[in-house]
Structure 1
Amino acid sequence: MATVILARHGRTQANATGVLAGRLPGIRLDEVGLEQAQRAAARLDGLPIAAAVTSPLERCKETAATLLRGTGVRARVERGLTECDYGDWSGKPMKTLVKEDLWKVVQAHPAGVRFPNGESMAEMSARSVRAVRDWDARVTAEHGDGAVWLAVAHGDVIKSVLADALGMHLDAFQRIVVDPASLSVVRYTPRRSYVLAMNTVDGSLAHLAAQAEKPEEKLGGGAGPAPRRARGRRP
């Protein structure tokens, strides 16, 4: 199967000021977020990207455009990767939300949470995982098992995909951290999924173009990826 790089969007002003943006329109990358996306793009130098998809929200589309600059690949919008619908919580400060009784449930039992007039976290997880797995099968069919593709999404969405790949119950997904503009890597196989990287913010990923070992063939940790010479930043 192909390998997917899960990229969270760069920082926004809502992130910086502690506001739960949710699906509100007009939330774009701030200056720091643009710089984060540019640094993440440099990490993909030397790595052919077979395909890319993005959440329909502006901050993800901006991040995707930066990550793909100079590659000739354009991201397709995948609504299954959109942010969780936080309903009445959208646009509210985190310092206010932490006082809500539901906040404790979000942290301890997210699988049982439905946001007021919004989506349940279980629904968000199911559609996100389905979207990534469906796209992975599609990319594999079109480009082969060695293909690497990109999915740009949101923190909770990526945490849900990683939890599924790790075989974790959704109630444990709050243990996973996904920082702005971080890159995580998952490879699906017919037998199981493999998490090759989580929440990384530096280091080249060019080695994914020619993995020395298939994950399913490793025993005792394996030898790791073959070293590759660093390349300059794309124009």
Structure 2
Amino acid sequence: MTVILLRHGRSTSNTAHTLAGRSEGVDLDDKGAEQADAVVGRIGDLPVRAIVRSPLLRCARTVAPLAAALDLEPTVDDRLVEVDYGTWTGRKISELVKEPLWATVQQQPSAAVFPEGEGLAHVQSRAVTAVREHDRTLAETHGGDVLWVACTHGDVIKAVLADALGVHLDGFQRITADPASMSVIRYTAIRPFVLHVNHTGTGLTSALTPKPEQTDGTATDAVVGGTTD
């Protein structure tokens, strides 16, 4: 099972340098709308079988062109929603960096709980659970390997990637997920494999096109260790 973690396109909050959180009505800006249109070409003819998204408007706008092109109805999953930043929601980043909690968010995010909001450890737990559950359900429904898209938010994507990489949540700030970026994880019975992080190029087809099986039943890219030599 392979999931494309798609971050929403650039939003009006991104350009205003505020922490949007779960604020209502935060839409894509003009650049973000262009990025949403471009997702269709970037995914190309990959056999995407499902789209799951955060309930927030900026994610709905981001997947709309792709859903129309693929004739798919996106599924909304509240577990992929943005972090509940509590009283930090809507505030300027330039103000938040002066808060004592900011250092914890950057250096020990596993201990960070936003005032009147949620903790980043909880964010990782709910998001990873959601991704893995959709993975299993789609595999059962389609009887095998399925490629699907999950459209969500930057910190959520970073938390899911940290889990897949086997990195403690305290290291998740080392991961980047830019607006409209795609990060790709292939889940197997043994472990997850991270195929892309923060992909912003023109297409994913070369990495995600299914590879032929060898006569002994093993995949052509199967290796032991870190090289293909």
TM-score bracket, normalised by the shorter chain, equals over 0.9
Q: Match of 2:223?
A: 218
The corresponding residue for 2:126 is 127
Matched to 1:211, the amino acid is K
Residue in structure 2 matched with residue 164 of structure 1 by the alignment: 163
Corresponding residue for 2:110? Answer: 111
Q: Give matches, 1:193-212, under 5 Å.
A: 193-207=192-206, 208-212=208-212
Q: CA deviation at 1:180?
A: 0.2
In 2, distance between residues paired with 1:68 and 1:126?
27
Runs of 4+ aligned residues of structure 1 deviating over 4 Å after TM superposition are 212-216
**Aligned residues of 1:40 and 1:202 also touching (Cα < 8 A):** no
Does the CA contact (< 8 Å) of 1:87 and 1:117 recur in 2? Answer: yes
Once the two structures are TM-superposed, the CA of residue 179 in structure 1 deviates from its matched residue by: 0.3
**Number of positions where the alignment pairs a residue of Structure 1 with one of Structure 2:** 222
Aligned to 1:22: 21
Equivalent pair of 1:40/1:201 in contact (CA under 8 Å):
no
List gaps (5 residues or longer) in structure 1: 224-235
Which 10-residue stretch deviates more, 210-219 or 35-44? 210-219
Alignment of 1:82-101 (within 5 A): 82-101=81-100
* Structure 2 unmatched runs, 5+: 214-218
Change (3 A) 1:73 1:218: farther
Q: Which residue of 1 aligns with 2:216?
A: none
TM-score by length of 2: 0.92
Shift of 1:63: 0.6
Cα offsets for 1:131-163 (capped at 9, x unmatched): 001101111111233310010000000001100
- Counterpart CA distance in 1 for 2:90 and 2:133 is 31
1:30-80, Cα deviation, whole Å (9 max, x unpaired): 100011122222111111211110000000011111222211111100011
CA-CA distance at 1:222 after TM superposition:
3.6
